[in-house]
Amino acid sequence: MSLPSDDFARQIFFKIHNGLPRQGPGSTQSTLRALHSINPSHRHLDILDVGCGSGVTTFDLARLGHRLIAIDNHELFIETVLTRAKQEYLSERITAVVGDMFRLPEFVAPNTFDVIWSEGSIYIIGFERGLTEWKKFLKKDGYLVCSELSWLTKNPPFEAHNFWSKHYPNMRSREENIRIIKECGYELIDSFVLAEDDWWNEYYGPMEQRIHELKLKYKGHQEAESVLNEQLNGIIESNWTELVDEFDQMNLREPLLRGIYGFGFERPSAIQQRAIKPCILGHDVIAQAQSGTGKTATFTISILQRIDVNFKDCQALILAPTRELAQQIQKVVLALGDYMSVTCHACIGGNKVQDDIKRLESGVQVVVGTPGRVYDMLQRRALQSKNIKMLVLDEADEMLKEGFKEQIYNIFMLMPENIQV
């Protein structure tokens, strides 16, 4: 994420990022995998860590005996690294300096480093420019280790393409990046895709929580809220402009609120702040966010707010790609709807067909299931679609990959014409 220009905004930026496990996607496991690719003999290396942030990777490498010069253009990050290096008795291995990756400090001499490490920062200077300008600082047989954003499919979803076109317009395919690597005079040793958890566990998740805390602290402070919202929009973007910071502000029914707080939620996540309200208002919604961001609770809360608890027929249908996910969703529906006496049944393979038929005919307000079994129940008329007003496709991209496309189409054709998706 880019660094704000004025002093107050920079202070807020620092409050957001300082102390987080990471300032970019990654994990110790990914760092060690990349290190092993270039250094299987485990010799001690001279490393330039460009864009070190608060030094998570710096310290991972220093603890293994490597010598590092860590550079970042944010003085407060460098102060954090120096203080921590002293506390961990790593000052002899870590030199941390304020520096600009667009123009490295003069004492960074050519032919000096075994490795230039740019985990999550090369995109700031530009992938091709970084490869070209930093190469002279490497020893003859040196390595450049970096993480770069790439398209993993030729036809990404429109929403994803639209988001990244704004935030990183120069993003290319992996094949194009490999071509650039070779054209810049490098030999590609290894490449791998960061796990989804590398984005969320130590980066987006903790950062989102930090932003929520700061929004409470700076509530009513226009400049601070502007910086905080800008950073939050780097996690998730929406064409729905209204953000609702508290569940109490969503005009939810009281038994549902009790279920939400009883489930352990304290405040809405980024996706919930944006998506619950339009869902409740009856809009068709496409929601894309990392695992663990609260997508399941988003559509579950919306369903529970909209259904008529006094009417026992099916009013919401949720499709999931696997039995396990369907069962997990059922548990969330029943937990959040605990004080509403809501009924929910999972139609999945492995259950006896007659048991599903009997349960559905007895009256179920929410049905969750895999496409094959749900379509079977619709064909048998055990599941009646005439009163279904909400259809949810969870992990829709995965379902289309798994070959459920025809079944989903057939199910959709049996739904009421005005159904919300």
CA angle 132, 26, 131 (to 5 degrees): 5
For residues 156 and 69, which has the higher predicted lDDT (pLDDT)? 69
Architecture of the CATH domain 241-413 = 3-Layer(aba) Sandwich (3.40)
Q: What does pLDDT average to over the chain?
A: 88
**Range scoring the smallest mean pLDDT among 80-84, 97-101, 199-203, 364-368:** 199-203
Instruction: Report residue 196's pLDDT band, with 50, 70 and 90 as the boundaries.
Output: confident
Q: What superfamily in CATH does domain 28-193 come from?
A: Vaccinia Virus protein VP39 (3.40.50.150)
Which range of 109-113, 161-165, 239-243, 265-269 scores highest in mean pLDDT? It is 109-113
What pLDDT is recorded for position 1?
47
pLDDT digits (tens, 9 = 90+) for 306-355: 999 999 999 999 999 999 999 999 999 999 999 999 999 999 988 899 99
pLDDT of residue 279 exceeding 70: yes
**Average pLDDT for residues 124-141, to the nearest whole number?**
92
* DSSP secondary structure, 314-374, as one string: --EEEE-SSHHHHHHHHHHHHHHTGGGT--EEEE-BTB-HHHHHHHHHT--SEEEE-HHHH
First-to-last CA distance in the chain? 33
Q: Are 103 and 133 in contact (CB under 8 A)?
A: no
Percent of the chain with pLDDT over 90: 55
Backbone angles phi, psi at 255, to 5 degrees: -60, -35
Q: Are 279 and 299 in contact (CB under 8 A)?
A: yes
Q: Are 160 and 288 in contact (CB under 8 A)?
A: yes
Mode of pairing for the β-strands spanning 94-98 and 113-118: unpaired
**Average pLDDT for residues 119-129, to the nearest whole number?**
85
For residues 273 and 182, which has the higher predicted lDDT (pLDDT)? 182
Residue 410, both tokens = 């057939």
Q: Are 231 and 13 in contact (CB under 8 A)?
A: yes
Are the folds of 28-193 and 241-413 the same?
Answer: yes
Q: Which residue, 379, 380, 375, 382, is CA-closest to 360?
A: 382
pLDDT digits (tens, 9 = 90+) for 223-274: 888 888 777 766 665 566 577 888 999 999 999 999 999 999 888 887 888 8
Domain boundaries, the chain: 28-193, 241-413
pLDDT of residue 290 exceeding 70: no
What pLDDT is recorded for position 349?
87
Backbone angles phi, psi at 381, to 5 degrees: 65, 15
pLDDT of residue 5 exceeding 60: no
pLDDT digits (tens, 9 = 90+) for 21-62: 887 888 999 999 999 999 999 999 999 999 998 899 999 999
- Cα-based distances in Å from 121 to 27, 66, 186, 406: 15, 20, 19, 42
Helix and strand counts by DSSP (H, E) for the chain? 19, 11
**Average pLDDT for residues 132-152, to the nearest whole number?**
92
- Cα-based distances in Å from 378 to 94, 206, 373: 65, 43, 9
Mode of pairing for the β-strands spanning 366-369 and 316-319: parallel
Long-range contacts of 59-65 (CB under 8 A, 24+ apart): 59/84, 59/85, 59/88, 59/90, 59/94, 60/28, 60/31, 60/32, 61/31, 61/35, 61/117, 62/90, 62/93, 62/94, 63/90, 64/35, 65/93
What pLDDT is recorded for position 257?
95
What pLDDT is recorded for position 13?
82
